[in-house]
Amino acid sequence: MKTVHDFNFENKRALIRVDFNVPLNDGFEVTDKTRIESAKPTIIKVLEDGGSCVLMSHLGRPKGVQEEFSLKHIEHAVEDVIGVEIIVASDCIGKEIEAKANDLKPGQILLLENLRFHKEETNGDRDFAEKLSRLGDIYINDAFGTAHRAHASTTIVADFFTDSKCFGMLLAKEIESIDKVMKSGEKPVLAVLGGAKVSSKITIIENILDKVDHLIIGGGMTYTFVKAQGGKVGDSICEDDKMELALDILKQAKEKNVQIHLPVDVLAANDFSNDANTQIIDVDKIPNGWQGLDAGPKTKALFDEVVNKCKTILWNGPLGVFEMENFATGTIELGNSIAEATKNGAFSLVGGGDSVAAVKQFGFEDKVSYVSTGGGAMLESLEGKTLPGIAAIME
Ligand code: AMP
């Protein structure tokens, strides 16, 4: 796996695919600079070597050229984070842009206009990718968030850089973290899968059964497993058509020597509302009119014990409806357990969608080993898929 550390960028122009798809407020100000900060180490490495950077990204989902999605809105945020004045281009391909790129001196940065102003970007157009490739000597992909897309700037452009292409530091870290869980994790390895539905996690569960020693299944998925085994789940979220699949997963786990841990008790509510009446009840005895919305106390203690005996931990999906304060403690306590295990030497990776939001909301970000920056890309990695943006650099 080639990274920026395998290159010296002195007098070279690096064409870097970054993920600057940042949130903007109504005044077009950047409200969260995390993604820019994440790309900083790679950009600084190029500049400190004595090279220059051509940065390319998408922003939002424009239909053609739409001013509100212009990357010029993020100019000051990028300058703030990187600490260097940048040049903002009016497009991402064409003669004028090529001339601007050619004129770059060591230490300078050119930020291209939104790649998705051209439909050829998402179409993975070869001709468009070739035009992008003219803007740099070395291609760096540092955008994990789009690595599962075979777009022109994330995948196809790499074809035009035979040996001179590599992963940026952020993408390399993402790959290493996933490998640590999926390939080389210190045992016992644990995956905690929560979230709403079995149907959206099924490929992950099936893939992960070959990699882990323990699997905690929580959140809304619980009830399909419980009902399939004859339990009463009341009005809890449940996918009846996935019950057979749930039984098959339990069987597969047994054959593969994976210990599955399901909640034993839940905090049930008489309405899907923060103000609902609640009761703690065994997971398989939920009366009609009630629904399980969070883990119960025995479950929290059980999961804490499992988490703290594992050396490698992957967490995807909340254990309850954490968006409502009264049903957030299962997710918060799980976060606490993972933080404690991490402090005691375990490697912990949090990734994919809502668990990242929960980790940020509850302040666990610095207490776990790594929080992934890619939602869809992370989920596809956990499903065992080879991401096109990663394969294009490996080739
Ligand atoms: P996912 O995107 O599949 O990871 O699902 C995340 C969502 O699952 C969050 O919005 C949670 O509110 C929801 N969720 C977690 N536990 C439950 C539950 N017991 N009942 C309904 N929704 C849940």
The rounded distance, in Å, linking the Cα atoms of 267 and 331 is 12
CATH superfamily of 185-382: Phosphoglycerate kinase, N-terminal domain (3.40.50.1260)
* Residue 374 CB less than 6 A away from ligand 1: no
| Whole-number pLDDT of residue 361 | 87
- Maximum separation of any 2 CA atoms in the chain, in Å: 71
For the chain, the residue count is 395
Q: What is the pLDDT of residues 383-393, one digit of tens each?
A: 999 999 999 99
Name the residue ranges covered by the structural domains of the chain.
4-170, 185-382
Long-range contacts of 330-334 (CB under 8 A, 24+ apart): 330/218, 330/267, 330/294, 330/295, 330/296, 330/299, 330/300, 331/194, 331/294, 331/358, 331/362, 332/362, 333/295, 333/300, 333/303, 333/304, 334/192, 334/218, 334/295, 334/300, 334/303, 334/304, 334/307
For tokens 């929080």, what's the residue?
371
Pocket test of ligand 1: the residue of 354, 361, 362 to mutate, having most ligand atoms within 8 Å of its CB, is: 354
The rounded radius of gyration (Å) of the Cα atoms in the chain is 23
> H or E element: which one contains 110?
strand 109-111
* Residue 195 CB less than 6 A away from ligand 1: yes
Q: Where are the alpha helices (DSSP H) in 229-352?
A: 243-255, 297-308, 329-343
Choose among 95, 91, 116: nearest CA to 20: 116
Burial of 143 (0-12, 13-18, 19+ CB in 10 A): buried
The reported pTM is: 0.90
Sheet with 291-295: list strands edge to edge.
Answer: 278-282, 265-269, 291-295
Determine contact, residues 268/284, Cβ cutoff 8 Å: no
pLDDT band for position 375 (50/70/90)? Answer: confident
| Ligand 1 atom nearest to CA at 322 | 12
Structural tokens at position 91 = 């497009």
Query: The CATH number of 4-170 is which of 3.40.50.1260, 3.30.70.260, 3.30.565.10, 3.40.50.300?
Result: 3.40.50.1260
Q: What is the pLDDT of residues 303-312, one digit of tens each?
A: 999 999 999 9
| Whole-number pLDDT of residue 385 | 93
| Whole-number pLDDT of residue 257 | 97
Virtual torsion, Cα 74, 76, 80, 82, nearest 10 deg: 60
Please, which residues have CB within 8 angstroms of residue 255's CB and are 6 or more apart in sequence? none
pLDDT at 204 over 90: yes
Give ∠ CA 282-285-286 in degrees, rounded to 5.
95
Active site residues: 35, 197, 353, 376
| Whole-number pLDDT of residue 373 | 83
pLDDT at 352 over 90: no
| 267 C-alpha to ligand 1 centroid (Å) | 14
Pairing of strands 138-141, 13-17: parallel
| Whole-number pLDDT of residue 240 | 96
* Residue 172 CB less than 6 A away from ligand 1: no
Choose among 353, 391, 347: nearest CA to 370: 347
| Whole-number pLDDT of residue 345 | 97
Query: Between residues 118 and 198, which one has the greater pLDDT?
Result: 118
Instruction: Judge if 4-170 and 185-382 fold alike in CATH terms.
Output: yes
- Arithmetic mean of pLDDT over the chain: 96
The rounded distance, in Å, linking the Cα atoms of 253 and 215 is 9
Determine contact, residues 311/347, Cβ cutoff 8 Å: yes
Choose among 211, 215, 206, 194: nearest CA to 352: 194
Choose among 259, 222, 218: nearest CA to 243: 222
| Ligand 1 atom nearest to CA at 294 | 19
Mean pLDDT on 344-367: 89
Determine contact, residues 205/314, Cβ cutoff 8 Å: no
* Residue 321 CB less than 6 A away from ligand 1: yes
| Whole-number pLDDT of residue 121 | 98
| Whole-number pLDDT of residue 357 | 81
Q: What share of the chain has pLDDT > 70, as a percent?
A: 100
